[in-house]
Amino acid sequence: MSATAEQVAFWILAIPLVATAAGVVVAKNPVHAAMNLVAAFFFLAGIYVLLTAHLIAFLQVLVYAGAVMVLFLFVIMLISLGDEHLLEERYRGMQLLGVVGAMGLVAVLAWAILDVARAAPGPLPADFGTVKAVGRALYTRFLLPFEATSLLLLAAIVGAVVVAKERI
Amino acid sequence: MAIEYYLLLAAILFGIGLTGVLMKRNALIVMMCVELMLNAANLTFLAFARQRTSVDGQAVAFFVIAVAAAEAAVGLAIVLAVYRTRGAVNVDEVRALRE
């Protein structure tokens, strides 16, 4: 069986994605963790392109790798813990139990996924995943959640300012 | 290419994020791991959208990104406020709601 272009691209993106995601967990320094997370978001955007979700891949880079990570880095710099404040991780029984539980969850999920029908997906309409197609869904069937999202973002802006500011 | 590869990748990402949430004590890294878990959920939505040839999954992924951005803004504001009042970003040390 010869590998298709999609399979090659998938493995090229998936292996560094898992490596950088593990780097977020392994890193002691929050800045290193943030850099690993940015890389993971870029690889994930590539995976989204493979799934013909072009708009979502673009938003992934714009919102996650751009806005959210800048926010994270700002807070890391504001808190600016010195080296002596790097928390050394003590692995106690409860934490190890949690890790074992997480591994168990992945095993259960994998078992369930392998039960899913393995049919290759069918042909796609030409505009699948474009701004036009997703926008049409957002502004018709998902209009109410879409408008509710704007309220949520407004509440988040006001809430973040109220919580983070010392004196208003 | 069948979507089970994408679903397995999402499960592994979710497991890595969950491991981080349960193991790390730095609140900032815990929040980054929560973002990883949200992205794993997004990947699952997009994989099933591709399988079912429906853009509904992509619309939901759009909402997940918006909610995750709001969550990051408010969560980081809380981390900052806790750091100001308690001088700590260690989730084990911050366990009281008031005082």
What ipTM is given for this predicted complex?
0.90
Spatial distance between the Cα atoms of A72 and A94, rounded to a whole number of angstroms:
28
More confidently predicted of B36 and B1: B36
Answer for the pair A20, A46: CB distance below 8 angstroms, yes or no.
Answer: no
- Mean pLDDT across A147-159: 94
- Mean pLDDT across A115-119: 73
Chain B CB contacts of A48 below 8 Å: 43, 46
Answer for the pair B6, A51: CB distance below 8 angstroms, yes or no.
Answer: yes
A128 falls in which pLDDT band (50, 70, 90)? confident
pTM of the full structure: 0.89
Look at residue A168 in the predicted model and tell me its pLDDT: 63
Is 70 exceeded by the pLDDT of residue A129?
yes
Which residue in A has a C-alpha nearest to residue B77's C-alpha?
A: A164
A164 falls in which pLDDT band (50, 70, 90)? confident
Chain B CB contacts of A149 below 8 Å: 63, 66-67
Is 60 exceeded by the pLDDT of residue A119?
yes
pLDDT digits (tens, 9 = 90+) for A15-74: 999 999 999 999 888 889 999 999 999 999 999 999 999 999 999 999 998 899 999 999
Is 90 exceeded by the pLDDT of residue B85?
no
Domain parsing of chain A, residue ranges: 1-92, 124-168
Distance from CA of A127 to the nearest CA of B (A): 10
Domains and CATH numbers, chain B: 4-86 (1.10.287.3510)
Written as six digits, the tokens of A104 are 């168990």
Q: Which of B33, B72, B52 is nearest to A21 (CA)?
A: B33
Look at residue A82 in the predicted model and tell me its pLDDT: 62
- What whole-number percentage of chain B has pLDDT above 70? 96
Is 80 exceeded by the pLDDT of residue A108?
yes
At A57, the amino acid letter reads: A
Answer for the pair A18, B13: CB distance below 8 angstroms, yes or no.
Answer: yes
pLDDT digits (tens, 9 = 90+) for B4-35: 889 999 999 999 999 999 888 888 899 999 99
Chain B CB contacts of A60 below 8 Å: 39, 65
Which residue in B has a C-alpha nearest to residue A154's C-alpha?
A: B70
Other CB atoms within 10 Å distance of the CB of residue A64:
25
Q: ∠ CA(A150), CA(A151), CA(A157), 5° rounding?
A: 90
pLDDT digits (tens, 9 = 90+) for A71-101: 999 988 888 766 555 656 666 777 888 889 9
Is 70 exceeded by the pLDDT of residue A111?
yes
CATH topology of domain A1-92: Four Helix Bundle (Hemerythrin (Met), subunit A) (1.20.120)
Mutate to test the interface with A, among B38, B63, B76 (most CBs of A within 10 A): B76
- Mean pLDDT across B47-65: 91
